[in-house]
A and B are shown apart, each in its own frame.
Chain A
Amino acid sequence: MTEPREEPGTFPFTRGVHATMYRGKLWTMRQYAGFGTAQETNKRYKYLLSQGQTGLSMAFDLPTQIGYDSDDAMALGEVGRVGVAISSLADMEQVFDGIPLDKVSTSMTINATASILLALYLAVAEKQGVPWSKVSGTVQNDILKEYIARGTYIFPPRPSLRLIADVVEFCVKEVPGWNTISVGGYHMREAGCTAAQEIAFTLADGIAYVQTCVERGLAVDDFASRIAFFFNCHSNFLEEIAKFRAARRLWAHIMRDRFGAKNERSMMLRFHTQTAGSTLTAQQPDNNVVRTTIEALAAVLGGTQSLHTNAKDEAIALPTEESALLALRTQQIIAYESGVTAEPDPLGGSHYVERLTDELDAKAREYLNKIDNLGGMLKAVESGYVYKEIYGAAYEHQKAVERKEKIIVGVNEFVSGKKLALKMQKTDPKMEPRRRRDLAALRKKRNRVTVDKCLATLGKAAKSSENLMPILVDSVRNYVTVGEICNVLRGTFGEYRATHSI
C-alpha cells in the first residue's frame, strides 16, 4: 500500500524518485536509431552533436550482437541491417572519430557481447587520451531477457551471468561513471506478457544480477545505483501508470529488505520507457499516432526518466523522416503544452490508480514468490517456465482478439481504409563484400603472434574465475576481433540452444 502521507522522492518511491520531478528537469527524449556503417554512424553522431544533443544511442547489427565478424558465414545477409557492424577496434575508432569521449555519453544496446563492446569503447577512450574516469554511458548487459524474448544470446546462462558481473566489478573500480546494466521488461512485454508479468520478470532479472554481484563479493551500495531499468508502455492507460508506481515500490523494498542496501540511491528504480511497438497496426496506420500519444502520456504520468516514442510506421517499416519527426513532436507537445509536468505523480491519491497499483504490486509479488520457489530467475529461465508464461499470455491475447473480446480499432472492428504498404530497409549490397575485404586486410596487417597470445590468455582465463575485462581490453587494443574473442569463449563456455516444445 502507498503510505498514507508518502511524498514523491521518499521511500519506497511509489510516487517517483524525485521530489520535484519534471518541474526540476524534463525526461530525456531519447530516440533509438541504427545505421549500417561506421562512417554513416560517425556522420550522424557529428550532426546530432552539432545540434546540441549530448547523449548518443548506438544500435548494432545482429552479427555484432551475437558475436560474429562481418565476414563470418553466419553473418550472410545481416551485416549492417539493424545497426552498425563492429568487428574490431578499427570500426569503433571510425565511429568515434573526432568525437571526444569525455564530452558525450553513449548508450549501447548490447547484451551477450556487452563486455567486448565496452572494452572497445574504453580502448578508443585510451587512444584519445581520455581517462576512463571521465567516460560515461550505458550498456544494456541484460542477458536473461535474451533467453526469454529477444534472442541475442550466445553462451549458456551461467557463464553469461559471470560476464555481467565481470563488467559490474570492473566498472566499480575503473569506470565509475558507467551504467553497467539496463534491466529490460520491454521485450518480454512485446513478446506478449501482461503488465504484472512485466514487473515481476524484470525485477526477477534484476534480483538475479544483484545477487550474482553480491556473491562476487561486491558491496550492494557500491554498484546498485548504476543499475537502471527499461520498460514498455502499453495501451491500457491507467494500468500502465500503476505499473510504473508498483515497480518502483517493489524494487525499493527488494533492495532494502532483501539486499540490505543503506543508500537510498540503491533503492530508486530509474527507468527508460519505449511505447509499445506491438500495439501498432499495419491497418489504418494514422491511428498509431494516437496510440503512441496515449502510451507516451502514461509513461510521463508514471514518472519515466527517459522516453522513446515510436513512429507510426516503426514496427513494420523504416520510419520516414516525417513520421520520425512526428514521434519526437509528440513528446514535445506532452512536455511543453499539456501541463502534466506541473506536479509529480499527479494521479497519486486517485482511488482507482492506487487500487490498481496495489493489485499489480500483489500480483507481481506472487510471481516473484513463485520464481523464488523455483530456485530463482536463472532456474526459472533454464526450466522454460518464464518462456511458457509469456507465450501462453501472447496466445490468450490473440484468441481474445479473434473472438472480439479485445477490440483493436481497424483490425477486428471499425475496419475500413487502406493498409500501410510494408517497406524494408534496403542495405547497400556492396557493403558486405567491402566489409569482408577490409577485415581480410586487417587480419593480414595485425601481429599474428600477439593476437594468438591474447586469445590463448583469454582461453585460459575463461576457464578460471578471473575477471575477463582487463584481458578483453588488452585483446581489442591489439585488434583481436569480436568474432575471434567469442569463438574462444564459445569453446570454453559452450553455446546455448533453446529447446522449447510448444
Chain B
Amino acid sequence: MKRPTKVLIAKAGLDGHERGALVVAMGLRDAGMEVVYTGIRNTPEQIVAAAVQEDVDVIGLSSLSGGHMAQFSRVMKLLKKEKIKGVLVFAGGIIPDEDVKKLKKLGIKEVFGPGSSIASIAEFVKKSVRSK
C-alpha cells in the first residue's frame, strides 16, 4: 500500500497566531494525510530541517506577522541549497496580493488567504501531489 501523503505545517516568525495553521493541520489529517505541526516561532532553518527529518511530501507555511517575504523566500532558498526536490510548498495567512505573485515566482504553488475552506486546501494538496 502507498503511504499516506505526509505534510509539514510550519509557522515562521515570532508571532503566536496559530489558529489557522492548526485548523488546516487538523483538516488535512482528517482528509487522510499524515500531518506534522512545528508549533510557533520557527526560523527558516528549523523548518527545512524538520522537513528533511520528517521526509515530507508537502510543506504548508503560515505567517500572520508580516515577515512572510523574508521568511518564506529563505525557506525556498534553503530547500534549493539542500537539493530537496519534489516537495510541494504552499502558504497561508495574511499575505498581500502583490506578494502572492512574488511568492509564486519563488516556487510556492498556492497561497490561501482568510476565509479559504479546508476542503479547498485538501483538494489542492491531493491534486498537486497526484500530478507531481
Contact = CB atoms under 8 A, between A and B. Distances in A.
B71 interface: yes
A422 B66 CA distance: 11
A146 B94 contact: no
Interface residues of B, number: 34
A281 B14 contact: no
Contacts of B66: 81, 424-425
A399 B23 CA distance: 9
Residue from A152, A395, A497 whose CB has the most chain B CB atoms within 10 Å: A395
A242 interface: no
B22 A502 contact: yes
* B13, B14, B17, B39: residue with the most chain A Cβ atoms closer than 10 Å: B14
Contacts of B19: 190-192, 278, 391, 394
A77 interface: yes
A223 to B, nearest CB: 28
A394 B115 contact: no
B67 A502 contact: no
Contact of B97 (A399, A411, A421, A497): A421
Contact of B113 (A282, A394, A424): A282
A191 B20 CA distance: 9
A78 B13 contact: yes
Interface string B65-84: 11100110000000000000
B39 A498 contact: yes
A151 B13 contact: no
B76 to A, nearest CB: 16
B107 interface: no
Given A77-B71, A192-B19, A422 B115 contact: no
Contact of A398 (B13, B23, B65): B23
Contacts of B119: 402
Contacts of B67: 77-78, 81
Contacts of B65: 62, 78, 81-82
A63 B13 CA distance: 11
Contact of B40 (A151, A316, A398, A422): A151
Contacts of A395: 22-23, 26-27
A78 B15 CA distance: 9
A76 B43 CA distance: 10
Interface in B10-43: 13-19, 22-23, 25-27, 29, 35, 37, 39-41
B39 A500 contact: yes
Nearest to A153: B16
Contact of A66 (B14, B27, B35): B14
A74 B14 contact: yes
B114 A282 contact: yes
Contacts of A76: 70
A172 B27 CA distance: 48
Identify which of B16, B67, B70, B118 gathers the most chain A CB atoms within 10 Å of its CB: B16
A501 interface: yes
B114 A402 contact: no
A391 B22 contact: yes
A399 B117 CA distance: 9
Nearest to B67: A77
Contact of A402 (B15, B71, B97, B117): B117
Interface string A421-434: 11111000000000
B111 to A, nearest CB: 10
A502 B35 contact: yes
B51 interface: no
Contacts of B91: none
B96 interface: yes
A411 B117 CA distance: 10
A150 interface: yes
Contacts of A398: 23, 27, 118
**8 tightest A-B contacts by CB?**
A151-B16, A62-B14, A77-B67, A422-B96, A77-B70, A282-B114, A498-B39, A395-B26
Interface of B: 13-19, 22-23, 25-27, 29, 35, 37, 39-41, 65-67, 70-71, 94-97, 99, 113-115, 117-119
Given A62-B65, A497-B39, 16 more contacts: A78-B13, A78-B14, A78-B67, A151-B15, A151-B41, A192-B19, A282-B113, A317-B94, A391-B22, A395-B26, A399-B118, A422-B94, A423-B96, A424-B96, A499-B39, A502-B26
